[in-house]
Chains A and B, each alone.
Chain A
Amino acid sequence: MSWLLDQPWSLWAIILPLAAALGAFLAPRQAPRIGMAAALAIFATVLGAILQVHGRGPQFHALGGWEAPLGIALRTDGLSLMLLAATALVGLVVSWYALGYFSGTVHGAEKREYFWPLWLFLWGACNALAVSGDLFNLYVTLELVTLASVALTALGGGAAALSAAMRYLLSGLVGSLCYLLGVALIYGAHGTVDLALLAQLVSDDGLSRAALALMVTGLLLKTALFPLHFWLPPAHSMAPAPVSALLSALVVKTSYLILLRLWFEVFPTVVTPGMGQLLGILGAGAILWGSFMALRQERLKLLVAYSTVAQLGYLFLVFPLAQGEALTGAWTGVVFFVLAHACGKAAMFLVAGTIYHTAGHDRIAYLAGAGGPLGVQVVVFALAAVTIIGLPPSGGFMAKWLLLNAAIAGGQWWYLVVMALGSLLAGAYVLRVLSWAFLDVRRTFYPTLPWTLRWPPLALSLVALLLGLLAFVPVHLVLTDAPVSAAVRLEVRP
């Protein structure tokens, strides 16, 4: 067993997808097989990394033997594991779904040839970002993630998809350049970009504040926090279904992970409660505005995309809530939210894709009386939506419960109201889809779905639904080497 714990699993989690991406690019006909084999292997690798951190504690690698101030340090801690695990879980299921989605004549062989290398490249970049331990490496991996995501968004091919990709690319570029300027200021002041070293060096001065402001603004744009979310709904709804699922479930979380690291690890001495409240208010705005817009959409994929805008708002409640004794609770809640939302949202997008694939459109009003195989898919949609609404026993419920506790413990009751309203609105837009689908009108005939389109969304919905029951293990693991570990006390208050 001990050799198992000695392997550099997090390195393999970067090298495997990149090598597979190269293979899929060079042998396009074999791409689905290479992709699926790689997906299984990466999943096993991430399991190895989880066992390793569980058994041995956080892992550190100095690439090429160069130590921190100069070299690139890789670090696997609880937060990295959460992103690695979410990516592996969602990635495996989405790869499985993509086998079916890109096999038909509707989505030509050409798209399949491009999908696999780009997706594996994106996977490698996400994994590299999760374990990066310095600001500049985070910048480079974030750019790789954006580059692959933009190319995947453009996979749809129409003028609308390309415009969405272009808008995504330009806003991503502005975001990352703001971030990079912040990195330049930090390097100029302290002569290092290593997160752990910076945590000791950064003090509350004008330069640190300017750098923090630039980096946070850039990352907010990349994470699509309201009102900087304008690029997200077109990009996520124009892409093919497996791509939409990956973008909404994983890609927006990568920049959020950097934001968490900056806020709680590098700049805890610089941030003030006022700044936290500002992000919290924007997050509350995102919850309400995103849910409201989701309620108004005519197309299913746009509805799911606006739901992402709303759900991202919850992630930003951590900044005002994580104070004092509520620190650990809010932080854990929001990190668990990342995992729960990734599973639920990916499942919703996969179902929307299946419906689009079968019915040839995704206009909600025309789904009236869908019945038959589509009716089953709508039930799967509802199962996935349980975690988005936040009903027990889903992962989303658990995460919201932790956030609610933090809001009560901190005496910030207005966030309770926002979260309750957000859940109500989420329930409303999900019910709107259900009510159309189960209207008793003349049923249209739809062909039977291939099994690769039927089972993956169900598998992910079930994971999202039952995640709340297993919450203790991931929550405990996430606290490994966490920036809030000073008081590891998970107290559920009535």
Chain B
Amino acid sequence: MSVPLLYAAGGVVLFCLGLYAIFLRVHLLRKILAANVMGSGVFMVFIALAARVPGADADPVPHAMVLTGIVVAVCFTALAVALAVRIEELSGHSRLPRKGEEGA
């Protein structure tokens, strides 16, 4: 297994770990972190694929895409953290309401 492929596989593993956690963890901060782990996994796949041709220079386009992706991820994390803080202020706990708890 070549090095880029190893990194890409690592990225996919990170993606799956994040996916698992985002559904099964209850605390909102854990969910937000899980989303970031998922995102990092995708970015690793991108960067690994940039170096897929052995010997040649790395392809710069995926790097630019990852930079854009990081900007998007930062925006989302900021919004999610702001929402989580507000939810805790209003309801007293940092989790999403369970089925049947949602009032009008």
Contact = CB atoms under 8 A, between A and B. Distances in A.
Interface of A: 70, 136, 140, 143, 147, 150-151, 154, 158-160, 162-167, 169-170, 173-174, 177, 180-181, 184-185, 187-188, 191, 234, 299
A393 to B, nearest CB: 37
Contacts of B79: 147, 150-151, 169
Contact of A147 (B18, B31, B75): B75
Contacts, number: 92
B87 A163 contact: yes
Contacts of A188: 8, 45, 49, 52
Interface residues on B, range: 35 or more
A159 B45 contact: no
19 contacts: A143-B72, A143-B75, A143-B76, A147-B79, A150-B79, A151-B79, A158-B90, A160-B97, A160-B104, A162-B87, A166-B84, A166-B87, A167-B96, A170-B31, A170-B80, A173-B76, A177-B15, A181-B12, A191-B59
Interface in B32-48: 35, 38-39, 41-42, 45-46
A166 B85 CA distance: 11
B17 to A, nearest CB: 13
B58 interface: no
Contacts of A151: 79
Contacts of B15: 177, 181
A369 B90 CA distance: 36
A181 B45 contact: yes
A140 to B, nearest CB: 6
B61 interface: yes
B10 interface: no
Contact of A184 (B46, B87, B96): B46
B26 interface: no
A136 B61 CA distance: 11
A169 B83 contact: yes
A396 B50 CA distance: 47
B57 interface: no
B35 A159 contact: no
Contacts of B102: 160, 163-164, 234
Contact of A140 (B12, B72, B76, B87): B72
Contacts of B97: 159-160, 163
Most chain A CB within 10 A, of B59, B61, B72, B96, is at: B72
Contacts of A165: 83
Most chain B CB within 10 A, of A140, A158, A184, is at: A184
A365 B98 CA distance: 26
A169 B80 contact: yes
Given A166-B87, A177-B38, A180-B69, A160 B103 contact: yes
